[in-house]
């Protein structure tokens, strides 16, 4: 069986170290240097000939993270790695998964093409913005689910009258999955946008009175939607409102919005490193989830056991 080696890019070094430890080994030696103008040059500092190579890198903007991953893949292939798996805890550009207006790019498909052209043999990621993005790849893709992290945490809270909410119509499937597992009800927040990252109006479809509400989303960017949804839900009589979201993009005024919101807490994972601490943000780690998935792939086992 080929030897397994795990390497980290620049975007998530702490998470990568935890994943490698969960798998049962240390990170491999990789040097990423930059020219004066910012040009990236990765090089492996140990032999990877004939190895199963796992490259851990979230591709959150800036685009340097995506390019760096592609260069790492290319370097691994040219160093005669047996197989190269791109482990992408957060798959960037996934929100651009269709033509929702004329003359725009389908960036998620483009990124899939780029990663495949760079030489990736396999992709491993978590909670894509839209499940159908899996179909953009013509190589194997392991799509892990953040519910394996959030369900045990929600159980530990022992909330009284639990209710799940989707902050928009597109996320109904995610919220319904949690509601079904906990045998709870769910509601939907219907929002209207004038432009990206700006909510013009929102209304709640369903009853939330005297409920402990959990908003479910795949990512939080400026936190405008999640905070507005929490405010409306609380005004309609909910006991408490908290949110769970796999990817904490948290750009713009996100931290300010969260601190000033009515949210009891925002629970995210470490697929993207926090830019600053917040009393309302709790971070859970996906390291063991990815460590177990890498082990399953290398042993040719099923990853179904990782799903709740």
Concatenated DSSP letters of the chain: -PPEEEEE-SS-HHHHHHHHHHHTSPPPPEEEEE-TT--EEEEESS--TT-EEEEE---PSSTHHHHHHHHHHHHHHHTT-SEEEEEESS-TTTT--S-SSTT---HHHHHHHHHHHHT-SEEEEE--SSGGGGGG-SS-EEEE-THHHHHHHHHHHT-SSEEEEESSGGGHHHHHHHHHHHT-EEEEEEEEEEETTEEEEEEEES--TT-EEEEEEEEESSSHHHHHHHHHHHHTT-SEEEEEEEEE---TTHHHHHHTSS-S-EEEETTS--SS--TTEEEE--HHHHHHHHHHHHTT--SGGG--
CA distance 278 to 105: 35
CA distance 277 to 173: 30
CB 163 within 8 A of CB 214: yes
Catalytic residue among 5, 83, 191, 211: 191
**What are the residues whose beta carbons fall under 8 Å from the beta carbon of 222, sequence distance 6 or more?**
197, 251, 252, 253, 254, 257
Active-site residue flag, 191: yes
**What are the residues whose beta carbons fall under 8 Å from the beta carbon of 272, sequence distance 6 or more?**
11, 12, 58, 60, 89, 90, 247, 248, 249, 250
Catalytic residue ranges: 191
């Amino acid at each position: 069986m080929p030897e397994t080696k795990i390497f980290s890019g620049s975007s998530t070094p702490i998470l990568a170290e935890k994943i490698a430890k969960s798998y049962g080994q240390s990170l491999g030696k990789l040097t990423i240097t930059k020219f004066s103008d910012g040009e990236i040059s990765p090089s492996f500092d140990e032999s990877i000939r004939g190895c199963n190579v796992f490259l851990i890198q979230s591709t959150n903007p800036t685009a340097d993270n995506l390019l760096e991953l592609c260069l790492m893949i290319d370097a691994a292939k040219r160093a005669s790695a047996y197989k190269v798996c791109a482990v992408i805890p957060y798959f960037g550009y996934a929100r651009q998964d269709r033509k929702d207006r004329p003359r725009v790019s389908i960036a998620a498909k483009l990124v899939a093409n780029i990663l495949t052209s760079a030489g990736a043999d396999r992709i491993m990621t978590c909670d894509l913005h839209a499940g159908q993005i899996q179909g953009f790849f013509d190589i194997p893709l392991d799509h892990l689910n953040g519910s394996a992290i959030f369900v045990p945490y929600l159980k530990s809270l022992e909330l009284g009258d639990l209710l799940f909410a989707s902050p928009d119509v597109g996320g109904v499937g995610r919220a319904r999955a949690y509601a079904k597992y906990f045998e709870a009800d769910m509601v939907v927040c219907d929002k209207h946008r004038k432009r990206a990252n700006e909510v013009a109006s929102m209304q709640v479809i369903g009853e939330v009175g005297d409920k402990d509400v959990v908003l479910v989303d795949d990512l939080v960017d400026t936190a405008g939607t999640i905070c507005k949804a929490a405010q409306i839900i609380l005004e309609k009589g909910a006991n408490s409102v908290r949110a769970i979201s796999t990817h904490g993009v948290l750009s713009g005024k996100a931290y300010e919005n969260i601190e000033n919101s009515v949210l009891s807490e925002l629970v995210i994972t470490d697929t993207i490193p926090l830019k600053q601490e917040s009393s309302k943000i709790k971070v859970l780690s996906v390291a063991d989830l990815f460590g177990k998935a890498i082990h399953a792939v290398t042993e040719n086992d099923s990853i179904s056991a990782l799903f709740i």
